[in-house]
Amino acid sequence: MRGVQLPFSNTQKLRYERALAQLESLSSKVNTNATVIVADTIPVDEDGALKGHGTLDMGKNVVATVCGVVERVNKLVYVRSLRARYKPEIGDIIVGRVIEVAPKRWRLEINFSQDAVLMLSSMNLPDGIQRRRTAIDELNMRTIFVENDVICAEVRGFQHDGSLHLQARSQKYGKLERGRLLTIPPYLVKRRKQHFHHLDQYGVDLILGCNGFIWIGEHVEVKDAMVEDQVNKSDPQNTHSGNLLGSSEEPTSTPPETRQYICRIANAITVFSALGFMVTLEGVIEMVNLSLSLNLGVDEMLKAEFHVQVAEKEAERRSTLTKRR
């Protein structure tokens, strides 16, 4: 956080340093013996403790081999690096950009040391029918994804060469349009049960990719092909009219108000990333509401004053949580 380079005035600098000092004091109180550097001794209570990543058994002591935070899961003790690169896990929700259309597969850039692979057989076809892929499907791959398309997928596994194998068999995965892609450090995105968020009050979808790629775009209704098929079979007349509407519907542009909300959310995440704060849905909404309550323009959110206000707000929030405990 102290590495932020902004044109602070003297008053803003004092307020910013005061907020950082308060955050550091709160962190030291909550995380006693949790932050370690190389060669620090990690207290282990149980004799049968399992030593995980970032630890080394030195006789009767367990020492840290990396700088980070000590994490404990049952008997497992390991050190989570603070500024580590993205380490994929099976089931991760990621956002990537297509860089190559190869035979029966797409190659994606996902902010990892190696590219990811999405096989043609690992995704739903546009018609939604579950069937074997044919040579015609392979010839029509560019009608699905082309270079520079942004898509969302899930980590399925690892290949023999270390690259990732993705899958996009759900309706919530696929091509992302009418939005903005942000890149932040992956350690600022915590793995959670839900990475897809619909901000109804703004009409915006937010996808927090575990790989540090964040997508903010206009809300898109997810349609279940199986449910639609059942409705179509039960009411053929309704199906006919619906198909006519779908075929004549032209893609409309994103409303200016929605575009402004997309930019506000993107700027809020940019400020969080610059300050080194974890990016969460609650924090993003709070910062967007703060900018609206202060009548700030979209461009003013990236100025020094708003960075100071966000730091003060975060210090106040953590102080309140500490008092409740």
pTM score? 0.80
User: Quick one: pLDDT at residue 235?
Assistant: 53
Instruction: Return the pLDDT at 276.
Output: 86
What pLDDT shows up at residue 23?
82
3-class secondary structure for the chain? CCCCCCCCCHHHHHHHHHHHHHHHHHHHHHCCCCEECCCCEECCCCCCCEECCCEEEECCEEEECCCEEEEEECCEEEEEECCCCCCCCCCCEEEEEEEEEECCEEEEECCCCCCEEEEEEEECCCCCCCCCCCHHHHHCHHHCCCCCCEEEEEEEEECCCCCEEEEECCCCCEEECCEEEEECCHHHCCCCCCCEEEECCCCEEEEECCCCEEEEEECCCCCCHHHHHHHHHHCHHHHHHHHHHHHHCCCCCCCHHHHHHHHHHHHHHHHHHHHCCCCCHHHHHHHHHHHHHCCCCCHHHHCHHHHHHHHHHHHHHHHHHHHHC
- Give the pLDDT confidence score for residue 253 in this predicted structure: 84
Query: How confident is the model over 4-29, as a mean pLDDT?
Result: 82
Lowest mean pLDDT among 140-144, 154-158, 315-319: 315-319
pLDDT at 303: 92
Q: Which residue has the tokens 């509407």?
A: 245
**Residue 228: both structure tokens together:** 């639609």
The predicted pLDDT at position 227 comes to 41
Q: Picking from 32-41, 74-83, 115-124, 291-300, which range would have the lowest pLDDT averaged per residue?
A: 32-41
Q: How far is CA 250 from CA 101, 246, 306, in A?
A: 27, 9, 40
pLDDT of residue 169: 87
Top pLDDT among 20 and 24 is at 20
At residue 182 the predicted structure's pLDDT band, cuts being 50, 70 and 90, is: very high
**What mean pLDDT, rounded, does the chain reach?**
83
pLDDT for the residue numbered 224: 53
Q: pLDDT grade, residue 80 (50/70/90)?
A: confident
Average pLDDT of 192-203?
A: 93
Instruction: Report the pLDDT value the prediction gives residue 208, as an integer from 0 to 100.
Output: 96
**In the chain, % of residues over pLDDT 90:** 45
Stretch 222-246: mean pLDDT: 44
Mean pLDDT of 221-245: 46
